[in-house]
Amino acid sequence: MELREAGDGAAGEYERPPKKYSWSEVRQAVHDLRKELSSLSTMVPMAISFRKLSNGKMRIYFLRTPQNGWEVTLLYTDVTPSQTASNMRLDWRPLIESNVALGVSSGKWSREEQLLWERQRVAAWGIASYELHPKTGRVLFPCASSLFIAEEAPNQSPPLVPKSLSTGWGAPLTPAMCPAMPSLVAHAARGDVWLAGDSLRRPARLTYACKGREERLSDDPKQAGVPCYVTQEEFSRYTGIWWQPQSTDNVFRIVYEEVDEGEVKIYSFPSSQSSSGEVEEFRFPRAGTPNAKSVLKMVTFRLQKAPPTTVLDYYQEGNSNTVASESPGNSSDPLEVVDVRWYELRHSLKEVFPWFEYLARVGWTPCSQYVWVQVLDRKQQRLELALVPVSEFNVPVRYEQGSDGGRLDEESPASGSRQGDRTQIQVLVSETAPDAWVNVHDILHFLPSEPGIVRFIWASEETGHLHLYLITCAVNGQRAMTVTDIMAEDESNAAVPRVISKEPLTDGDWEVMGRKIWVDEPRGLVYFVGLRETPLERHLYVVSMSAPRQVVLLTKPGHSHSVDMDESPEPRSFNGSWDCRPDEEESPSTRPPPVPPPQILSTRLSCGALAYCTLWRSAVPGRRPTVLHVYGGPEVQTVTNSYKGVRQLRMHMLAARGFTVVSVDSRGSKHRGRLWEAAIKGKMGQVELDDQ
């Protein structure tokens, strides 16, 4: 790779920038460029969801800044499904009434919300996330330390006037609608799980892990429903609340994570929101020090009509006037939460997996009979995917501030003790990476299966690249003790994997992106985003479960694609494109700046591998001083054929100010295979120098 014609800081004279900028000028330039790039980034639709309307049209929901606006809000467009492609520009309309005050401009954001946004890398201002219930059209979104719901009525169409939900204490974090009764919303607030809803008389506190002593962090080490810092920052899991998809016994169940950070060291930092010398306390596990400890628990409760009294006891026993979860909204009478009970696992995850350190992923199977977990060891070299039967949550627990609602009776659907048979937790997948580390991903899709059998789609790097596998396992079997099992000191106490078949759906020296797949179960088709054509471009592919490894490209090479799909079983054909060229109606801020677009180049390293880099040339002619930016992993790929907006703010700013910038993805960066990534294991800072 030869860049000397662009200026590489080597021998020879180069032209200095025509002006030396003062600090205030540089600061203002950064502010202006950040504002412009942020506005461009939020003009692209984000968080796309689909809902079929009664008239046959498909309504597409998404987040975006409206024209001539600066706050991200909810928009929608209606599409008529057709077998013929159309280049007609879609009509984007506001879903939320723009005149309704959501508190965005007031700056009313809690410290917890700001920390969550920081870990999620949220750069926009306004509505950062939402949840859609496709059957009812109910939309839930948090904003400015409040929760809002918006729902279409028979006589009302968008734009909708959102309604604020009463949420009790603190700012609501990571809210989730109940799948069986979307008027119920579980969320975390001040270290505990709460229940809100427009059908409730008032919010209900479901857990009592946090003591509420906010003045001293050391006095309150536990929290429920919120993952610890490492889980959020390193594994991108931000929620600790999971609703059971469906129930047949009128009992609502929520599995939640309880975190104990009592052994994690506390550090004090100057407050970013105060100029008077105040400090803020944070828990942070440095290398070699104890991490937070996670346990899975379950809370169950029922609903009944609230009596016409002012003072209510929300945790009294009783089954009278119980409201079934399958028939929400049948009465306008307010409801109350009763019969609250808490359970923990008969054998904790630490007992079952002695090496367990990180709870990477959690969820429910579609049948609602199992909770699945992904557990990881501290070195991140061993990962196991396991099924936890609901019946394993059968040890009653009580909180110090809880009432007798935590008492277990004979009629409880989850009854048992810590004694008795072995745990029924079943391992489905066990992966190790002794020479590297296991990358955590989000690809897991359970398929309809026969009793005693579980079929699912999983992604693995066992061949050196992340690929899709169709796996069939037997469940409910007894643990098979082999000589190897007995000799292994750290062997799991769960039932070992009983794999019936394992078929690779994709293969080759390229990667499947680990975020999401879409499965058309009736047709046996799996849609996914991958890097088969080039590691620089994301494309949409499809593969049939009946014809493995016959992958078909669905998008056009030469571009990098972001994909969202409707998962309904009906045939669909959507052709979406984003045109950033301004027209007469669009803001002048969308016009491209007078700076040459970046170029992607490649070079062969001394080890023989191919490395890619991005070159930003200055608009000023002649030799220019050069800034070299090298990234050596892990977890991120900086050089791609796509627009990255504020993530490349520094490069755009330097190029606009007369510098040439070269950004290099060295060994250790993401999406080039395990061998490429593992080159930095135990050698951080050395491989990058060798590559340069």
Inform me whether the pLDDT recorded for 317 exceeds 60: no
Residue 676 vs residues 112, 158, 440: alpha-carbon distances, Å: 37, 50, 17
Q: What is the pLDDT of residue 471?
A: 98
Helix H segments across 121-241?
229-235
Closest CA to 77 of 52, 98, 58, 63: 58
Q: Range with the lowest mean pLDDT among 50-64, 302-316, 510-524, 629-643?
A: 302-316
Tens digit of pLDDT for each residue in 142-157? 988 889 999 887 777 8
Yes or no: say if 513 and 531 are a contact pair by the CB < 8 Å rule: yes
Please say if the pLDDT value at position 481 is more than 50. Answer: no
pLDDT at 246: 94
Confidence of residue 41 (pLDDT cuts 50, 70, 90): low
- pLDDT for the residue numbered 108: 65
Secondary structure of 46-103 as H, E, C letters: EEEEEEECCCCCEEEEEEECCCCCCCEEEEEEEECCCCCCCCCCCCCEECECCCCCCC
**The pair of three-digit structure tokens given for residue 512, joined into one six-digit string:** 């499947």
Residue whose entry in the numeric block shows the structure tokens 């609901």: 390
Q: Which of 141, 422, 388, 417 lies closest to 253, judged by CA?
A: 388
Specify the long-range contacts of residues 318-326, CB closer than 8 Å, at least 24 apart. Answer: 322/250, 323/250, 324/250, 325/178, 325/180, 325/181, 325/246, 325/247, 325/250, 325/251, 325/252, 326/180
Q: Pull the structure tokens for residue 60.
A: 């597409």
The mean pLDDT of 37-58, rounded to a whole number, is: 82
| Summary mean pLDDT of the chain | 83
Give pLDDT, residue 596. 77
- What does the pLDDT average to over 46-63? 91
Mean pLDDT, to the nearest integer, of 163-167? 90
Q: Report the C-alpha gap between 196 and 202 in whole angstroms.
A: 7
Give the integer Cα–Cα distance in Å for 303 and 181: 11
Q: How many CA atoms lie within 13 A of 441 on its CB side?
A: 25
Q: Which residues contact 276 (CB under 8 A, 6 or more apart)?
A: none
pLDDT at 321 over 80: no
List helix spans (H) across 268-357.
Answer: 349-352
Q: Tell me the β-bridge partners of 382.
A: 432
The model's confidence at residue 8, banded by pLDDT at 50, 70 and 90, is: very low
Question: What pLDDT, on the 0 to 100 scale, is given for residue 85?
Answer: 65
**pLDDT the model gives residue 398:** 85
Q: Which residue do the tokens 């004090």 mark?
A: 268
* Tokens of residue 253, six digits: 């169940």
Q: Which two tokens stand for residue 519?
A: 């499965």
**Is the peptide bond preceding residue 571 cis, with omega within 30 degrees of 0?**
no
Task: Determine the average pLDDT of the residues in 464-469.
Answer: 98
Least reliable range by pLDDT among 167-181, 325-339, 672-686: 325-339
Instruction: Please give the average per-residue pLDDT across 271-290, as a whole number.
Output: 83
Residue 214 is predicted with a pLDDT of 65
What band does 133 get if pLDDT is binned at 50, 70 and 90? very high
Report, as an integer, the average pLDDT of 255-284: 86
- Asked whether the beta carbons of 354 and 490 are under 8 A apart, the reply is yes
Query: Is-contact 541 511, C-beta < 8 A?
Result: no
pLDDT at 103 over 90: no
Indicate whether 34 pLDDT > 90. no
Tell me which amino acid residue 452 is: G
Q: Quick: pLDDT tens for 236-249.
A: 999 999 999 999 89
Q: Is the pLDDT of residue 32 over 90?
A: no
Structure tokens at 125: 């201002």
User: Using CB atoms within 10 A of its CB, is residue 548 exposed (0-12), middle (13-18) or buried (19+)?
Assistant: middle
- On whether the CB atoms of residues 19 and 660 are closer than 8 A, the answer is no
Structure tokens, 635: 């977890």
The closest of 361, 537, 525 to 441, measured between CA atoms, is 361
Band of residue 487 on the pLDDT scale cut at 50, 70, 90: very low
User: What is the model's pLDDT at position 139?
Assistant: 96
Residue 83 confidence (pLDDT): 57
Token pair listed for 450: 């026969």
Residues forming a β-bridge with 222: 260
Write the secondary structure of 352-384 as one string of H (helix), E (strand) and C (coil).
Answer: HCCCEEEEEEEEECCCCCEEEEEEEECCCCEEE
CATH code matching the domain that covers 4-39+590-691, chosen among 3.40.50.1820, 1.10.150.120, 1.10.10.10, 3.40.50.1980: 3.40.50.1820
**Whole-number pLDDT of residue 494:** 76
Higher pLDDT, 499 or 618: 499
Residue 680 confidence (pLDDT) above 80: yes
Nearest Cα to Cα of residue 381 among 431, 416, 419: 431
- Phi, psi dihedrals of residue 35, rounded to the nearest 5°: -65, -45
Q: Which residues of 445-464 are buried (b: 16+ CB within 10 A; e: fewer)?
A: bbbebeeeebbbbbbbbeee
What would the 3-class secondary structure string for 7-37 be?
Answer: CCCCCCCCCCCCCCCCHHHHHHHHHHHHHHH
Among 481-490, 549-558, 585-594, 648-657, the range with the most confident prediction by mean pLDDT is 549-558
Q: Looking at the predicted structure, is the pLDDT value of residue 405 above 70?
A: no
Least confident of 132-136, 252-256, 451-455, 489-493: 489-493
Q: Which residues pair with 459 in a beta bridge?
A: 468
Instruction: Check pLDDT > 60 for residue 470.
Output: yes
Residue 405 tokens read as 């609602």
The CA distances from residue 58 to 80, 84, 304, 485, 573, in Å, are: 6, 16, 36, 53, 11
Give this prediction's pTM: 0.86
Query: Which tokens is 113 given?
Result: 């919300």
Query: d(Cα 304, Cα 324) in Å, to the nearest integer?
Result: 9
Indicate the pLDDT class of residue 219, thresholds 50, 70 and 90. Answer: confident
Give me the mean pLDDT over the 330-335 stretch: 73
Q: Tell me the angle at which helices 649-656 and 23-42 cross, rounded to the nearest 10 degrees.
A: 130
In the prediction, which pLDDT does 105 show? 52
Contact 385, 427 (CB under 8 A): yes
What is residue 147's predicted lDDT score, i.e. its pLDDT? 93
Residue 476's region, left for phi above 0, alpha for psi from -120 to 50, else beta, is left
656 SS3 class? helix
When mean pLDDT is compared across 476-490, 532-546, 606-620, the lowest value belongs to: 476-490
Residue with tokens 């061998």: 675
d(CA 638, CA 672): 12
Question: Pairing state of beta strands 626-631 and 660-665?
Answer: parallel
**Given a cut of 70, is residue 315 above it in pLDDT?**
no
Q: Which pLDDT value is given to residue 623?
A: 84
**Which comes out higher in pLDDT, residue 272 or 285?**
285
Pairwise pLDDT comparison (87 vs 649), residue with the higher score: 649
User: What share of the chain has pLDDT > 90, as a percent?
Assistant: 51
pLDDT tens for each residue of 538-577: 999 999 999 999 999 999 999 899 999 987 766 555 555 5
CA angle 543, 547, 549 (to 5 degrees): 60
Residue 33 has pLDDT above 50, yes or no: yes
For tokens 């999620």, name the residue.
Answer: 120
pLDDT tens for each residue of 169-198: 888 999 999 999 999 999 999 999 999 999
From 434, 421, 348, 412, select the one nearest 386 (Cα to Cα).
Answer: 348
